Amino acid sequence: MPQTDTSAEDSVILDAIAKWLARDVAPHALKMEQADTYPYEIVEQMKALGLFGAVVSPEWGGLGLSVSTYAKIVTMISEEWMSLTGIFNAHLMMAKCVEKFGAEEQKRKYLPRFCTGELRGGVGLTEPDAGTDLQGIRTRATRDGDHYVINGSKIWITNGIEGNCFSLLVKTDPSADPPRRGMSLFIAEKGPGFGVSRKLEKLGYHGIDSAELVFEDYRVPADCLIGGVEGKGFHQAVGGLELGRINVAARGVGIASRALKESVRYSQLRKTFGKPICDHQAIQLKLGEMATRTEAARLLVESAARAYDEGRRCDMEAGMAKYFASEAAIENSLEAMRIHGGYGYSKEFVIERLYRDAPLMAIGEGTNEMQRIIIARQLIERNPA
């Protein structure tokens, strides 16, 4: 597939990622995914590669990669084992919130430790009764001297068990109208009152922990309020979702691409009626559609990442990329299963994993229904009559 140009330095990084995937991930991914085993050794390798500070400025110890290059890394890893990308993406969303909106002292205290993976975690947004509608959250923080006391719960939190620090969205003023004006974002390290109630079992996305977090009179220092001003949390969280949606879109490209590659290969090896199935028009039609979807999704991701890198508002571009690439992942994984027949349904091969992983892309970081609404609203706002 065609690729946009990358710098020599970025090419070295992408080459290192490719070699790492072939050497240390590919031989173990199938077995670990099926066992739903957390990849401790691989996480240590990701720390050494600098992935936990991939898009954080070198000033704080990060790699300072462009989001365009970061998206390519996510796509590469997702082709091999999509779950791994969630381990560092949720973490980077937290890190970017601190880098973009945090006070100087917060940056000095946390960002270097985020980049090394010493402090590692994600974002605490979703609740049992509030997912896409973030303004409906109920977790509350009440000021008590130089601390805030937090009570409530979060669900479907990536890295909830293995992580130790999260950006936590709460309501500091439940009576605010509209509700978003009463929401704040905290840096929350695990401690007394911060509990993990259970690991959530999932159809796919295995090997990475998704958990329910419970807060019972959890005390967090007031200087952990990101930016130091109450009422800014909704804006900060939504800003972080732009990166998250580009990441999910890049994952979708990875899944779609792997499904295509496996199908192209298999269609040349499998024979029916005396010839490879790639010679049958029915298979050619599927491959042609899969290839076009994959490349279109890749280009949308590149467009959204470029807008992010240029500092432009990119919720529409990120929404388009996330929506289209996730649907491409779902469609390609299903077509790959049809092309592979019984082998596609077997757990001995990668196709059934792609089929299980793909639906998450249409849900994570905002449903695709919400993406279409965001796209339409931005389209109207940018093109007034």
d(CA 198, CA 200): 6
3-state secondary structure of 190: coil
d(CA 340, CA 190): 46
DSSP 58-98: GGGT-----HHHHHHHHHHHHHHHTHHHHHHHHHHHHHHHH
Name the active-site residue from 127, 348, 365, 381: 365
Closest alpha carbon to 82 in 326, 335, 346, 317: 326
Tokens of 145: 């001297």
d(CA 60, CA 63): 9
3-state secondary structure of 196: strand
3-state secondary structure of 367: coil
d(CA 159, CA 60): 22
Q: What is the DSSP letter of 154?
A: E
- Is residue 262 a contact partner of residue 270, using CB atoms and an 8 Å limit? no
Closest alpha carbon to 122 in 82, 165, 151: 165
Is 317 among the residues known to form the active site?
no
d(CA 264, CA 165): 43
> Where is 147: in which H helix or E strand?
strand 147-158
Catalytic residue set: 365
